Amino acid sequence: MKIKSILVKSIAVAAMSVTGLVVANNAGSNTAQAAIVQNDASVVTVNYVSNNSISVYNNYENPVATGQILASNTSWKVIKTAYDSKGHKWYDLGKNQWVRAKYVTIGHHAAATQTQTTAQASTQAPAQSQTQTQNTQTASNTSASSYTSNASGSEASAKAWIANRESGGSYSASNGQYVGKYQLSASYLNGDYSAANQERVADNYVKSRYGSWSAAKSFWQANGWY
């Protein structure tokens, strides 16, 4: 009986260590403690389809819903990764806005920016010949190089406001994984950091997530990011 008890405790400790929890020995008992761990995601996409949205909480240790909800198939930057005392994994989307990891998928929702490369598209469509692929890539690059944003008036003003806050208006600015004038995740740009592609992807990103640059600006003012 004593051997069995020790074995069970050992297994429990090992399991909690694997999930990233901190284990402390208090009065001879193993107690899991909430802890922030190494971040394992730069972007996550909401995948909970039951109610087509998920709730946002104020923290991961004693979570209370903030009243904010995130719609399915929307993608969000991740600032921190943590586990609560029950072993549940959480992501901080910035300014202590936490969501349960079980309701999101690591990575960006492809439809959000429509920036699939030919190589990515080949996994979903018949493979092209090398010549066809090169022609497609050339056409894509030409299209990107000639892109002109249709933002005007208050939209153009809101767009410029965000660019100034994010990078000071510099296309060459970088901050870790975030690149360029609008500090987009490098994965969104698919290796093309040209000014034209940054403008195109930024417009698509904002349109898919917020509907307009004015709405994105309002979100930025409330949260410190967009």
Taking each helix axis from N to C end, the angle separating 195-209 and 130-145, rounded to the nearest 10 degrees, works out to 80
Q: Which range has the worst mean pLDDT, 132-141, 156-165, 204-213?
A: 132-141
Tokens (6 digits) for 45: 């996409």
**For residues 152 and 143, what is the distance between their CA atoms, to the nearest angstrom?**
21
Distance of CA 69 to the CA centre of its chain: 15
For the chain, how big is the Rg over CA atoms in Å? 22
Mean of the per-residue pLDDT values of the chain: 72
Distance of CA 64 to the CA centre of its chain: 22
pLDDT tens per residue, range 5-47: 333 333 343 333 333 433 333 334 445 688 999 888 888 888 8
The answer to whether 72 touches 112, Cβ cutoff 8 Å, is: no
Amino acid identity at 71 = A
Average pLDDT (152-172) is 92
DSSP secondary structure letter of residue 159: H
pLDDT tens per residue, range 176-225: 778 899 998 888 888 899 999 999 999 999 998 899 999 999 998 988 88
**Is it the case that residue 80 has pLDDT exceeding 80?**
yes
| pTM over cut 0.75 | no
Strand partners, 35: 83
